[in-house]
Structure 1
Amino acid sequence: MGVSGPVVFAVLLISTIVSFGMLYASGESVYSMFHKASLEYNAMQLKLHTAELKLMNYSYQTLPNLTVYDISFNITNTGSTLSPVKWAYIYDGEIGSTSVVGPTLKYVLPGDNVVVTVQNVLKVANVTHSLVVSTEVGCGLKIKWEWVGNSTNGWPRVIGSAWYCPVEG
């Protein structure tokens, strides 16, 4: 017994409709995921281009009989909201140094100040130190300073600070 023409036609028609339905659902899903990824990428780019930290001032603590000092940097967020718990600190080329104490806040809003402290820095003249506060958007604030004077009488002096975004095209 053979299958009649109308039955074959009906089977092919139904399978074609089901196939197109599945293709449409797949295409819509891909478009939705692409659209969501595009929105997230645009939000990340906006945050990247509007994020900025600035060094406002600094202070230090030491005693004359010690050969080390602690230096604290007062940093202001002049850009978009950032998350200090996601920051990385590079002190004198070492990432994640235990000498650096950063803020533990979940968020830093625009205009807010935070303090980052480098502890137990040796009082040695003519040695340049650096600290990079690397944010979650890939940009960082670099601060360079040195000790002026000798180990019993002196003070730290900031040479300069700069905000840079190496991931910008």
Structure 2
Amino acid sequence: MELVQGTVKILQNTVSLSGGGKDSSVTTSHIYILEINGKTIKFDFYDPAIISDGDNIIVVGKQKNGVVEAAIYYNVTRNIRYYNYSKTILIVSLILLSIGLGIKITFDRDEGILFGGMFIALGLTFVYKYLTLREAITKLERYVSNSIF
């Protein structure tokens, strides 16, 4: 996880819609490309980011292909934190793991292993996302508690 702090310069701000076919829901993503201290930062969140040019923010995320993909941010100027649904991710992972274990126990050997294993694998993926997000939150909170703005 990389932590970047500085003054924001917004390079690009777009909204992406997906889904919306007959009887289906629409998912909205708010995508921001920012520059902070010469580093390129990408936000891809469900909610719009509350950030303007010139705001002082702290971003924590993973570096991928020269771009920091933000997991969370803290807008110091406006005193706003965004954590991207960490509790929801944990709940979904626990539900998927429970379903997977239930299927594995209930069904015969082949079906239980196949279908239960799929739910367990998906649940473990969500557990990994949750733990990664918790790591980012811990890093941000430690940095903020030790800083004077």
State the TM-score bracket (shorter-chain normalisation).
under 0.3
In terms of fraction of residues, the more helix-rich structure is 2
Provide TM-score, normalisation by structure 2: 0.26
Provide TM-score, normalisation by structure 1: 0.24
Give the number of the structure whose alpha-carbon radius of gyration is greater. Answer: 1
